Amino acid sequence: MDIHEYQAKELLAGFGVPVPRGSVAYSPDQAVYTATELGGWHWAVKAQVHSGARGKAGGIKLCKTYHEVDAAARELLGKRLVTIQTGPEGKPVQRVYVEVAEPFERELYLGIVLDRKAERVRVIASAEGGMEIEELAHSAPEKIMQVVVEPAVGLQAFQARQIAFGLGLNIKQVSRAVTAIMGAYRAFRDLDATMVEINPLVVTKDDRVLALDAKMSFDDNAMFRQRAVADMRDPSQEDPREVQAAEHNLNYVGLDGDIGCIINGAGLAMATMDTIKYAGGAPANFLDVGGGASPERVANSFRLVLSDKNVKAILVNIFAGINRCDWVAQGVVQACNDIDITVPLIVRLAGTNEEEGRRIIRESGLPIISADSLTEAAQKAVDAARAHAAS
């Protein structure tokens, strides 16, 4: 789960990370009022979307007058901001963050991520702030510092000081950078985050260290114990299909292909997508219906998959253990009777009550294409999708 910049800064400030003064606004008038309340002579008006690279896309406006604040808010609010991270569809801008724009001398990078391969938290820092870390890792990997955190003791102050000195900061700046680094780590740990990124972390002329921008992502599975964070979710920034899937407790990830997948088990879903690619096709989604694939759950899965207008065929691949093939077959038949399925449907059933499930499909009288193996099912799905697209 992702949150907006202003929300991330609010959370980080609660853990002692210094941030510039700012406030969120939902209208141009509110943006101007916020600027007057903040005071100062320069302000940044920032589009609040779940994406980086907003500055390059025109999503951050620097303003010197209240009139410019009003004009910036009017330009941003209500538009869809397209960045290199959003894709061509962009993300809707429903709020802006008005922040005091203070002059600074240096831009640094600070990131804290969960390294799943190492099974450790990894702190990443660089004196080259303001750049995409992926770009920096490719062009100048020697400029990136990394510290692996020992889970038994957590990030230690000496490690934070090591990072701060490595960034080339002076003594006064080091102590303030350590406060920011330790605070960001505590926020990461205590809030079940999977990523905290402060880019840039800036150094001002009077030696303050401020989080000028901030991004945070969280573990969805931990949100039951992080209700304050869960309440920050903004469905307008998410794939509508994934929002719909969450309402039905389905594990769904939208992709760019044209073969819709309804599968039980994450491993089988991954194998199915690989087999579709091997057969020359492209999956339109990852969808794991789980172990309890009741007829109603299967029907909801069909509705979800068909909400993607790019789908040219649907492949149902079930290997029943805890699940039952006859339940799934009933769900498939129910979905075909209740929903207008205008694309080819390929079904492969194996495991518990396999023969009963196949009998239900066979005797339904519906134009369902059956397959005995995963390879056969994938090939039939690819062929059917191509034929449907050509018709």
Q: Residue 236: is its pLDDT beyond 70?
A: yes
Given this model, what pLDDT does residue 71 score?
96
Annotated binding residue 107: yes
pLDDT, tens digit, 9 for 90 and up, residues 312-367: 999 999 887 767 888 888 888 888 888 888 899 999 988 888 888 899 988 888 88
Q: What pLDDT does residue 69 have?
A: 96
Whether the ω angle into residue 200 lies within 30 degrees of 0, i.e. cis, is: yes
Confidence class of residue 294 from pLDDT cuts 50, 70 and 90? Answer: low
Average pLDDT taken over every residue of the chain? 90
Catalytic residue among 6, 97, 109, 252: 109
- Is 199 annotated in a binding site? The answer is yes
221 in a known ligand binding site: no
Q: Would the pTM of this model clear 0.85, i.e. be above it?
A: no
Give the pLDDT confidence score for residue 166 in this predicted structure.
Answer: 94
- Give 271's strand partners: none
- pLDDT of 293 over the 70 cut: no
pLDDT of residue 289: 80
Rounded to whole angstroms, what are the CA distances from 264 to 36, 309, 321, 323, 343? 55, 23, 10, 8, 21
For residues 263-301, one letter each, b for 16 or more C-beta atoms within 10 angstroms of the residue's C-beta and e for the rest, the string is bbbeebbebbbebbeebebebbbbbbbeeebbbebbbbb
Position 114 scores a pLDDT of 92
Q: Among the options 5, 97, 185, 197, which is catalytic?
A: 197
Coil, strand, or helix at residue 139? helix
Q: Quick check: 276 pLDDT over 80?
A: yes
More confident: 307 or 69: 69
pLDDT at position 4, please?
95
Is position 6 annotated as part of the catalytic site?
A: no
Indicate if 66 belongs to the active site.
Answer: no
Determine the pLDDT at residue 342.
86
pLDDT category of residue 16 using cuts at 50, 70 and 90: very high
Q: What is the mean pLDDT of residues 215-242?
A: 88
| Domain architecture of the chain: domains with CATH | 21-100 (3.30.1490.20), 104-230 (3.30.470.20), 240-390 (3.40.50.261)
Q: Would you say residue 239 has pLDDT above 80?
A: no
